[in-house]
Amino acid sequence: MMEIIRVTLLGMILFLALMPILLLQALDIGQVRALAARNNVTCVLVFGDSSVDPGNNNVLHTTAKGNFLPYGKNFFGGQPTGRFSDGRLSTDFIADEIFGYRKIIPAYLSSNMKETNLIHGVSFASAASGYDELTANLSGVLSIPKQLEYFMHYKVKLQKLVGEQRAEYIIRNAIIVLSMGTNDFLQNYYVEPIRSKEYTVEEYQNFLVSRVDNYIKEMYRIGGRRLVVVGVPPMGCMPLVLTIWGDGRKCVDTYNNVAFSFNSKIQKELVTVRSTIGMRTAFVDAFTIIQHAVNSPQKYGLEETSKGCCGSGTIEYGDSCRGMSTCKDPSKYVFWDAVHPTQKMYKILADEAVESLNQNLLA
């Protein structure tokens, strides 16, 4: 009897976990765009790390760059842009699915940035950044306070371009995406002997959540009213982590448990934000969707889950991926390099994000 109960409960849990995926299969992009139009969605503004950086780091004095081949192999024209992927990022796909006429979200610091692009949205994200300012400082990249400073610069430029009232309207009705956190743990807490001496893992998680609270309030002060936070992915499933801290195949539970518990804290914080300052929020469960892809790749047309497409697929990412040979078909891989997802995986995450938007910000 107990075994039957276990099986039944397992089935219920599996069904509930897969519900977002089942919903995505029925996602009607036409309906998404119509709903966004009815809710006056103006653009997408992005903050975060390499998961959403389209090339801001290209102009920084840092080694955290992806503006060389084979990065960009499957981007338009096969050109590297600074995106840590073989092609587009989730935020590029989100803009495409919401608006149709926007295929990418440009980097705010790009030398090719045109003023008219400001109206349609930009990314302030910086690879290797984190919620902890120390994380960004260790790599010489843009911290979130610095990204928010550029947000203010953006607002001023927008006001000069379209007028103060219209600028306020555009920002108020923008979808703001915030995606980071992985570097705080993998590059900062577990590698650098600073935060780990100051905090236990849970204390550090709470410290990061307090920083998130401050950043959201600053976004609200500047004018943002719709926020999507992307959760930390299953860090223990990244090829780099499998290679260094695991057996090369099975996800490392220690790091996944940290990501899962941190995501839970972030979700609770978003509930508090909604009730206190009135910011409309949504959460994208990147942890669950990537874990599903790793555990059941065939559901997504994927095959390789433990290695990246670049080089050996076990340790190469960023500069160590420069000029390396790649797998024949990245669309069969969860990971492009030893840390970052492929364009195929980013598209899957984008579909989940759009579904979350429908349910929480546009409904």
Task: Map out the domains of the chain as residue ranges.
Answer: 27-361
DSSP label of 321: G
DSSP label of 233: P
Q: Would you say 119 and 43 are in contact if contact means Cβ atoms under 8 Å apart?
A: yes
Q: Tell me which residue of 238, 234, 227, 241 sits closest to 263, measured CA to CA.
A: 234
DSSP label of 107: B
pLDDT of 363:
61
CB atoms closer than 10 angstroms to residue 63: 12
- The DSSP-derived string for 286-337 is HHHHHHHHHH-GGGGT--EEEEESBTTSSS--GGGGTT--B-S-GGGEEESS
What is 27-361's CATH topology? Rossmann fold (3.40.50)
Q: What is the C-alpha separation between 299 and 302, in angstroms, rounded? A: 7
Residue 176 pLDDT greater than 90, yes or no: yes
pLDDT of 38:
80
Judged by DSSP in three states, 132 sits in coil
Residue 154 pLDDT greater than 90, yes or no: yes
- Give residues with Cβ within 8 angstroms of 272, minimum separation 6: 213
- The DSSP-derived string for 172-202 is HTSEEEEE--HHIIIIIITTSTTHHHH--HH
pLDDT of 311:
98
Q: What is the C-alpha separation between 171 and 323, in angstroms, rounded? A: 40
pLDDT of 353:
86
Could you tell me what percent of the chain has a pLDDT over 70? 92
| Residue pLDDT, tens place only, 41-57 | 999 999 999 999 999 99
- Known catalytic residues are 50, 337, 340
Residue in this structure with the two tokens 């546009």, named with its chain if needed = 362
Q: What is the C-alpha separation between 286 and 295, in angstroms, rounded? A: 14
Q: What is the C-alpha separation between 168 and 171, in angstroms, rounded? A: 5
Residue 32 pLDDT greater than 90, yes or no: no
pLDDT of 15:
31
Token digits for 58? 């290209």
Handedness of CA 67, 58, 104, 18 (dihedral sign): positive
Q: What is the C-alpha separation between 235 and 242, in angstroms, rounded? A: 9
